[in-house]
Structure 1
Amino acid sequence: MDKVIDNQRIICGDVIKELMRMPNESVSLIVTDPPYNLNKNYGKSQDKLEFDEYINFSKKWLSEAKRILKPNGTIYVFMGMRYISYIYKILEQDLGMHFNSWITWFYTQGIGKTKGFSPRHDDILMFTKDKKKFTFNLDDIRVPQKFYRNINNMRGANPGNVWQFSHIHYCNSKRQSHPTQKPEGLYERMILASSNENDCVLDPFGGSGTCLHVCQNTNRKGITIELNPDYCQMIEERLNKPFEGFDSVDEKMTRCPNDLNDADVRIEYIYNHINWFLKNHKDAIPVFLEEVKSKYLTKMIETEQTSIFDKYKIQY
């Protein structure tokens, strides 16, 4: 199976073989969540290799990934704590790529342990092919400030390297039938930061199709490789559904700054906030406006600025 839907290409096959078929320097960004070798059941494969087998497998696909990546390209790799140091070593020492960031994805719920501390995070390694020349669109991924100040960049602050997104729980209506589905908000931040519109983004381990779904709705061309044909069918169905907003958002995105006291600045900022931070998260707009209401309703009534609440059907 090799299918293209809305500029998103689904390749059903073995990851190493399919990567070897791809041209040199043909993609701008790689964002992927490979198997962690923790004995997960992926239907057509069991994620349980001997240590040396897993390291050799990782070297093979990462070597191909580097070859395929453009000179100014970036790779983000999710990895569990058991193997992340080995993946780091492969990327830096074996392949000569350049370390940029070690991102911690913090979530509030995870595996429970009675002896030892329960894990509450996964990690994401960000490496670039060139040390200095790589895409990074900071303005596209900023998060809202806590306070309004004229000297601040009100487009927001750098999100830092600790990101808080909830798991996509099984009760979530957008949950797919896949054991390791990742939040779209995570992929949105990486894809917006490290690629531009119409760029080609690759995910060598397609899984539930999160990467392609984000590419589809941020005007990128996506390619994914997935071994399990059932998951390929799932991805196809996901891409054919109407877009209703991404399934997760950084909670800071609904934060309304304090001290928005100037009426003209306040209303301009409120509309800008929705466009800057929430354009792919329509479910979060009412949450943001409820915070606006709690802080500024009296002033907005006085200055006749309540039409924004009417537009989004917020009672006041």
Structure 2
Amino acid sequence: MSNTRLITGDAVKQMQEIDSSSIDLIIADPPYNLGKNYGNNYDAKKFDEYLSFTNSWLQQAHRLLKYNGTVYVFMGFRFISYLFNILERDLKMYFRNWIVWHYTQGIGKTKGFSPRHDDILMFTKSDEFKFNLDAVRVPQKYYRERNNMRGANPGDVWEFSHVHYCNGNRQNHPTQKPEGLIERMVLASSCKGDRVLDPFSGSGTTLRVCQQLKRDCIGIEINSDYVKMTQKRLSEPFKGFDSVDPRMERVPLDLRRPDIRDEYLENHKKWFLSNHENAMKKFVQSVESVYGDQSSKQLSLFE
């Protein structure tokens, strides 16, 4: 069982109370300073005030991370260059990836191009860091014997749908992140029993994901209403994460040899769709559309 701890309070002040070098992974989705209403506080600091706030919590994040720890930070376009500068030049952290979260629906503009992505920076505290590639591979489009049947690196452009208002897991929060998006970070950069911190817990997605993936997690949230909402969310039965990379639902082409196809289908569920029971139906449809009834015996594994 994982240990989840949810703290009500200011991120910087509460982070100061946590022991140095005690956190394996930090996933942070701070306010972007775009004027959004988060209930009891508005996301509308003056430019220099916001940079000072960013610098303060990042310094704490650096202190808290273990030597081999990793931080992922969501950030809007206006401040991401400043964030990068603090992480790399001021804190001397190691840049790993600039991840693009691509989504298909968003704000519609009549002048200029509508935004369809968010940016996520991945930095590590040192040149030694955890990265569990096998835990986050995606199915290949084509199977070739020289390739790893286990799947391919997902790359740095991630497609996950927003958690739409019709989704049963939708919370009353303006910037709720998809569970599948957070799942990839947790699986890639931590192991079971590791300690994860989300200093801006919001709707509680990171805590919910860690709860299911058997990581200990600390969440900090300034809005007491969101804390109560998260506590309720953590107590609800788990029916599968609310989002999945669409590539996880596809079956590789060229699995014509029955022995290779049978082996692959037996492993697909545990490799790619663990915690995603709600994606099984689409995967079965993909198999049937490519291979017809040749794999009916193997498809029974997904029922």
Structure 2 length-normalised TM: 0.98
Identity of aligned residues (%): 58
- Count of matched residue pairs: 303
Aligned to 1:11, what secondary structure does the other structure show?
strand
1:210 to 193, 205, 212: 205
Provide, for residues 190-214 of structure 1, a one-character-per-residue CA deviation record: whole Å limited to 9, x for no partner: 0100001100000000000000000
Q: CA deviation at 1:114?
A: 1.1
Partner of 2:190: 195
1:252-267 equivalence runs, <5 A: 252-267=247-262
1:16 paired with 2:6, answer no
1:159 to 143, 154, 163: 154
8 Å CA contact retained: 2:14, 2:220: yes
Partner of 1:110: 106
Q: CA deviation at 1:298?
A: 4.0
Partner of 1:66: 62
1:38 to 34, 38, 60: 34
Partner of 2:218: 223
Aligned to 2:213, what secondary structure does the other structure show?
coil
Q: CA deviation at 1:299?
A: 2.9
1:93-108 equivalence runs, <5 A: 93-108=89-104
C-alpha distance in 2 between matches for 1:263 and 1:162: 33
2:231 to 233, 236, 249: 236
1:307 paired with 2:297, answer yes
Provide, for residues 151-188 of structure 1, a one-character-per-residue CA deviation record: whole Å limited to 9, x for no partner: 11111000000001111111111100100000011100
What amino acid does structure 2 have at the position aligned with 1:116? G
C-alpha distance in 1 between matches for 2:225 and 2:80: 29
C-alpha distance in 1 between matches for 2:169 and 2:294: 38
Aligned to 1:136, what secondary structure does the other structure show?
coil
Q: 1:312 to 1:137 in 2, by over 3 A?
A: closer
Partner of 2:124: 128
1:172 to 154, 158, 167: 167
1:135-146 equivalence runs, <5 A: 135-146=130-141
Q: Which runs of 5+ in 2 are unaligned?
A: none
1:248 to 219, 234, 243: 243
What amino acid does structure 2 have at the position aligned with 1:62? L
1:83 paired with 2:83, answer no
1:269 paired with 2:259, answer no
C-alpha distance in 1 between matches for 2:26 and 2:225: 23
Structure 1 length-normalised TM: 0.94
Partner of 2:48: 52
C-alpha distance in 2 between matches for 1:60 and 1:150: 50
Aligned to 1:103, what secondary structure does the other structure show?
strand
Aligned to 1:139, what secondary structure does the other structure show?
helix
8 Å CA contact retained: 2:33, 2:44: yes
What amino acid does structure 1 have at the position aligned with 2:170? R
Q: Which runs of 5+ in 1 are unaligned?
A: 301-305
C-alpha distance in 1 between matches for 2:72 and 2:301: 39
Aligned to 2:240, what secondary structure does the other structure show?
coil
C-alpha distance in 2 between matches for 1:138 and 1:311: 25
C-alpha distance in 1 between matches for 2:238 and 2:226: 20
Aligned to 1:213, what secondary structure does the other structure show?
helix
8 Å CA contact retained: 2:265, 2:299: no
C-alpha distance in 1 between matches for 2:187 and 2:270: 15
C-alpha distance in 2 between matches for 1:77 and 1:298: 45
C-alpha distance in 2 between matches for 1:227 and 1:299: 55
C-alpha distance in 2 between matches for 1:298 and 1:96: 56
Q: CA deviation at 1:229?
A: 0.8
Partner of 1:294: 289
What amino acid does structure 1 have at the position aligned with 2:33? N
What amino acid does structure 2 have at the position aligned with 1:282? E
Provide, for residues 85-105 of structure 1, a one-character-per-residue CA deviation record: whole Å limited to 9, x for no partner: 010011111111111100000
C-alpha distance in 2 between matches for 1:277 and 1:214: 16
